[in-house]
Each structure stands twice: as structure tokens, then as C-alpha cells.
Amino acid sequence: MQIKSLDEYNAVYKQSVEQPEEFWAGIADHFLWRKKWDKVLSWDFKEPNIKWFEGAKLNITENCLDRHLEENGDKPAIIWEPNDPEKDTITLSYKILHEHVCRFANVLKKNGVKKGDRICIYMPMVPELAIAVLACARIGAVHSVIFGGFSARAIADRINDAECKLVITADGAYRGNKQIQLKDVIDDALIGCPTVKKVVVLTNTRTPISMIKGRDVWWEDELKLVGSECPAEEMDAEDMLFILYTSGSTGKPKGVVHTIGGYMVYTGYTFANAFNYQPGEVFFCTADIGWITGHSYIVYGPLSQGATSLMFEGIPTYPDASRFWQIVEKHKVNILYTAPTAIRSLMSFGTEPIKGHDLSSLRVLGSVGEPINEEAWHWYDEEIGKGNSPIVDTWWQTETGGLMISPIAYVTPTKPSYATLPLPGVQPVLVDEEGREILGNGVSGNLCMKFPWPGILRTTYGDHERCRQTYFSTYPNLYFTGDGCLRDEDGYYKITGRVDDVINVSGHRIGTAEVENAINMHTGVVESAVVGYPHDVKGQGIYAFVIYPNTHGDVELTKMDILKTVTRVIGAIAKPDKILFVTGLPKTRSGKIMRRILRKIAEGETTNLGDTTTLTDPAVVDEILAALQKV
């Protein structure tokens, strides 16, 4: 399944376009199926209706665990590095992980979970998080992991949308020198979640928490009541594996749905190829399992390939900015997969934190989540890779399941700040505003896909029409990514950023409408408009223009009130970096906010604001500039 040379890449790519079904069947043959498929693919981007490996039966955990036991049972599956470097590392071999997953799957069954039930997981980055995810998959339950930074209200919305029956959480989480009271947040969320009948609570930080009789049970106690045998549930390839909520250009996050067979094949294939994973190597993906990167490249991709996946509880700057390099040295990490925001943040500490750390085990470096600027690319290349570890800049999305456009380490060339070439099986096209395909090289346009791949989302949970509208209606017969893209003279792709109202803050997707809704919930706010602006470390920052006629004479306190409101409604990750109180917003005669103008102002542009004649009240712009001048 691994491509070994550029010539092979070219040949395989060609085959993947000319005979996609044969190509993907060949890849899928590398996995364990209880029954093979009747049909590789049926698809239609209109509805959309996409099915891969129809008729096939499998369980993804048999691919991620059972099939490795005989030969590699003692090999480390997960190496866990704690937040506190003084604490012990935990290593789970495939055998041990398998046993833990089976046991916890039995806990879920004991608590009434059945095939198809939705389970919310809100946990710290501890091994039990991976165990919980896999335990759901073992028994055919659908997991919906929610990142630890979301607020009670955001969690409640997600739980209710998916009608989750059970929640898996912990007392608290460690993050650098902070503790997050996860169970308190869940308790607040559950006030408004009638479908949740049970909560399983892991002991982690040993902070006092409330445990409600009849609803809440301890993870540790439950384990004592079950056995370690749990046969894997036989699933259809197109059964749902998980839901993962992500932001878009409307106010409400959508539950991206991935199904078992295609997602497994796609994450395994992309993992093995892009990172050129070799048996025995240690793969360190620094993402949180609360995001798609963690799902695909901490859990499912590496484990389906029998790899060793390093999972880190903490943050890159705790106890200090050398933490990543300590971890690389300590565990002899071979492949490091991180985000440009982390690279830029570590870069700001200079090279001192790197000194004295042996990084010679590193063989491949990866980047994901946002465009990587040239400066960060070169720093990563020179200071971390010492000029001899290829950087795979992997472009993909929650909706694509796995990476799509990326160099293949040691096979295809890299190019600073370019995601470079599509993987075999991926057919990108650039289109203009009218949806006409832009052919040739040295061109820019909106990035679309013209053919399905096994990892593509199947629907948005509970609202298929929304899936159609968001991804398949902008351009007929194409999947629209929402990204702008350049294809250079050599045919290499460079992602230029979102073309919709989505901001990418530290590699996290945040919808402007969502933040506006949250700000507008604050009493006293009349209206707001949120845009992104370039931020040195985060990539993009959040800039909020807020109409708030009466700030009670204390502008700073009012700003903090607004931040608190956003933190309560969405979570701290969506807090605006800048708030400007204004008297009006630039609107067209049809009432649409002209974000183009606000974006320019947020970027620091004050003179060249383009055509403002179509505004209902062009004077608004001068008032905004005057407000800016005052602060």
C-alpha cells in the first residue's frame, strides 16, 4: 500500500483517476473485512449520496487492535506522555489496549449502550480517551467527541443535536499549569439534556465533584463489574462511526458524519503514505483527540497500521518551550505532526529551548490545520528537521476525514508553504465564481473535488439538506471545500485560506456567525460583526465590531463582560482578540454587512477601503475609523 518512488506516484495517480474503483479496492484489500463489499462505490454529488464498500461487514477495532495481536501484541500501541513531566509515562501495548477497550466496551453495554446509540465524550488527553473512543466503535456506538475547551452551553447543543444517551467524562483535566473542571461543565450542560441517562466519570485530577445518584458512575468502579472479553459487533461499511461538530458560515455548528469502512481505509492509507511510516517508528501527533486530526492520526490511522502513536496530555510551552523537544528526545520520536501555530509560538522563543535536545530520531515532519507561512516552514525545516526531514504540509478538513493534498515523505517533492500534490485517489479542481473549471497551471480559484474519496463526509447529522447546501450546492456536481487555492506553474497546490465566513484561529475553525450570535447574547449589545485578521502566532485573530450604546462608563469592563459571554456560550477558544465599540456597521441597501470593509480595517488599512458607495450610510465607515483612532 506504500508508494515508494515518484514514478510510482505518477503511475498510481493515473490509475486512481482512470480506474478509481480498482484502485480503492486494491487499497481496501489491505484491511480486515468479515465480508468483502458487493460494490466499491456508488455516488451522486447532487443529493449527495455517497457509499463506499457497500455490503461489506467489519469492525474497525478488529483492524486497529485484534489483527495486530498475534504478531505485534507486545508492541506499543499508545505511548502517553503526561502534562507534568515528573509523572510517569504510560505505555499500552496492543494486547493491553485491546483488553482495556474490551473491558470498557463492556462497561458501556452494562450501562445500556446499544449499537447505533450516540455517546458524547468530553475528556482530557489521557489514554482513557482513546480507550473510550475505541470502546464505542467496538460495540457499534457512535462517538461524538467534544473538545475540552467548549462551554457547557456548546456541549448541550451538541449533545441535544445528536440525542446522546450517555456521556463519558472525567473529574478534571490538566493543561499546562491550569486545571479544567470538566465534570462541573458537564453538570451545567446536562441541565438541558433530557436524552442523557448515564454519565461515566474517570478519576483524573482528584478534584471534588458532584456525583448524581442513578445517573453518574465512576469509570474505575464499573470496570470491576465487567469481564475483559467483548466480541466486536459486526458492522456495515456504511454504518456511522462518529459525529464531529465543526463550524461553518452559519451560526450553528454541524455534526459531520463519517462512516466506518471508507474512513478506516482512507485514514490508514493516508497515514501509511504521507508520513512514510516504517514499522517500529514512533509517531507523535500533537493534536487533541477533540479535533479531526486527533481522531484520524492519533487513533484510527496509526492503530489500523499497527503503529506506535504518542499521545501528549499537555501543551508545547509547559513547563517551558522545550517540552516538545524533550518529548522527541525521550521517546525517540520519528515523525512529528503539529500545527503552524505551535511552530510559530515555539519559534518566538528562539533556538535556546532546542539546544541540548537530541532530535536525531526525527525523520519526517508534518504540518496541519492552516497555511504554514514560509518563515515558519524554514524554521521547522532547519531548526527541527536539521534540513534532512521532509515537511509534509497536509491540507485537509474535518469533512474529508483524512489528508488530501500533501507531499508523500521521501517520494514526492516538498515546497515551502505548499501542500503540493493530491494523493492518489484525490481529484482537486479549481473553479471561478461561476463554477467554471480553471484549467492549466499558474492559476487561482476556489478549491473543489470532482470525485469522491472513501473518507468524504456522508451527511451532517440530522440534517442532510444542510450537508447538500453547504458542500454540494455552490457548484453543481462538485464538493466545495470553502478554501481558496493557487496552482503554480509546476502544478503544485498552495492553500490561500478560507473564502467563506470562517476564521482559522490556531488551526481551529470558528464561524464568524457563531461568535456574533454569542456576542449578541450579551445584554446591551445591539449588533456585532466579526472578522478575522492576520495574527503572528494564531494565524488569524478574531476582531469584533460591536454596537453597544451604553458601556456604563467603563469600556474595559464591558469588553471583559463580552469576552465572558462568548466564553460561556461557546468556550474560551472563540474569545475575540480585539473588540471595537462602534455606532454602526457598514451595510448594503439589502442589509448585508460589508465584511470586506471591516476586514480591511481589522488588518490596519484605513485609507484604501475600496468602493463604499453602495453602503446605505457611507458615513458609518468614518465613524468606525474615528472610534479606532480613539483607542
Buried b (16+ CB within 10 A) or exposed e, 392-415: bbbbbbbbbbbbbbbbbbbbbebb
Our finding on whether 482 is near ligand PRX (CB under 6 A) is yes
- Is the peptide bond preceding residue 48 cis, with omega within 30 degrees of 0? yes
Over the window 440 to 479, marking each residue x when it contacts ligand PRX by CB under 6 A and - when it does not, the resulting string is ----------------------------------------
Closest CA to 248 of 512, 575, 602: 512
Segment near ligand PRX (CB under 6 A), from 122-130, 367-375, 422-430, 590-598? 367-375
Our finding on whether 285 is near ligand PRX (CB under 6 A) is no
| Number of Cα atoms under 13 Å in the Cβ half of residue 267 | 31
Buried b (16+ CB within 10 A) or exposed e, 53-83: beebbbbbbbbbbbbbbeebbebbbbbbbbb
User: Of 18-37, which residues contact ligand PRX (CB under 6 A)?
Assistant: none
Question: Which lies closer to ligand PRX via its Cβ, residue 371 or residue 586?
Answer: 371
Our finding on whether 266 is near ligand PRX (CB under 6 A) is no
Our finding on whether 158 is near ligand PRX (CB under 6 A) is no
Our finding on whether 394 is near ligand PRX (CB under 6 A) is yes
Which residue in 398, 414, 460, 512 binds ligand PRX (CB under 6 A)? Answer: 398
Look up residue 159 and give its amino acid.
I
Question: Which lies closer to ligand PRX via its Cβ, residue 325 or residue 493?
Answer: 493
Which residues, including other chains, have CB under 8 Å from residue 618's CB and lie 6 or more apart?
A: 586, 612
CA distances from 156 to 171, 186, 241, 571 (A): 18, 8, 21, 12
Segment near ligand PRX (CB under 6 A), from 194-202, 369-377, 570-578, 622-630? 369-377
Question: Which lies closer to ligand PRX via its Cβ, residue 261 or residue 482?
Answer: 482
Q: Name the region of 235 (left: φ>0; alpha: ψ -120 to 50; beta: rest).
A: beta
Question: Hey, is 601 helix, strand or coil?
Answer: helix
Compute the least distance from the CB of residue 74 to ligand PRX, in Å. Answer: 32
Segment near ligand PRX (CB under 6 A), from 13-21, 189-197, 389-397, 557-565? 389-397
Our finding on whether 370 is near ligand PRX (CB under 6 A) is yes
Question: Which lies closer to ligand PRX via its Cβ, residue 222 or residue 483?
Answer: 483
Our finding on whether 368 is near ligand PRX (CB under 6 A) is yes
User: Of 188-247, which residues contact ligand PRX (CB under 6 A)?
Assistant: 246
Our finding on whether 481 is near ligand PRX (CB under 6 A) is yes
Pairing of strands 142-145, 240-246: parallel
Q: Which residue is nearest to ligand PRX (CB)?
A: 398
Look up residue 568 and give its amino acid.
R
CA distances from 262 to 293, 345, 437 (A): 16, 35, 27
Q: Length of the chain in residues, anyone?
A: 631
Our finding on whether 483 is near ligand PRX (CB under 6 A) is yes
Which residue in 174, 266, 271, 395 binds ligand PRX (CB under 6 A)? Answer: 395
Which residue in 24, 147, 275, 396 binds ligand PRX (CB under 6 A)? Answer: 396
φ, ψ at 234 (rounded to 5°): -80, 125
Which residues contact ligand PRX (rule: CB under 6 A)? 246, 292-293, 367-371, 393-398, 419, 481-483, 495, 498, 504, 509
